Structure 1
């Protein structure tokens, strides 16, 4: 078995850690603070870890982070996410296509659908994207799905215009 990692950070006592845990809103950080406070009180690592809902190895890892960074090190680190498959230059070109609309002769469609944009991206940039990813790029660049307002097939436009003209000005 490995050795227990000593808590080398001496700027906070177990009582200070519990006080900090009361003020912390993130429940995960609170559990980690309380586990380290138990270790500083002399409780064995297995009991301290189990009472805080983790195993000994996890407590050991958090002890390393606490020693290196203090309370700030006990927060979860979120990753940056996946790197975009299209470069900023390619995304600008993509936006230009959407704004210009499709060319019926070249693209074979009269309005863009995600499937059509997917084919165009693959053809132009040699990058395969899922249809949902195309939708995410559209949303990212401020495009929304617009649909034409429904109109009854027997609508009489002249009657509507006549009716509008007779309404009193508001």
Structure 2
């Protein structure tokens, strides 16, 4: 499908009902469904299919399948099929062993981690499930930001200022670029922290 084309899909829910559905699935820890709903929400907001799929990091065939599933069945059409509930988890003993394997073999890519779990334990696991399990252990609750919501992400203004500072510069080599980037990033970070905290002594945070 052409990346500039707006995907036409059935609007099963109003915008308010959609936001409520995303909030409910987050509370129910349905991570995969939240991701799919965020993709469809982007289409609701007029994004192209390419923009919507890039926001959640999926391929073109996957995004087309999700869009058709939504149009055909709404939320239930989007819900992942795991044969009767959530995918199987690692047992506590397996989890402890797995953590030891990760520590001994660092660094790992997400694909290597997934392959390790499937080969060793016979469990299909997405890296986001691992993060959720660890967050549960630490009593950490994730709050998901909807796609294209820069006002909810504090780092977005910093990236915008960073690009503005870098764009007119010409760099002699990668070391020059790295030094300039580090200096500007720290300067902008201090300024952002000063604005957020109202402190004039934010530079202390970056001292080693």
Q: Is TM more than 0.5 here?
A: no
Structure index of larger Rg: 1
Q: TM-score range by the shorter chain?
A: 0.3 to 0.5
Give TM-score, length-normalised by structure 1.
0.41
TM-score by length of 2: 0.34
With CA pairs under 8 Å and 6+ residues apart, which has the higher RCO, 1 or 2? 2
| Structure with more of its chain in helix, by fraction | 2
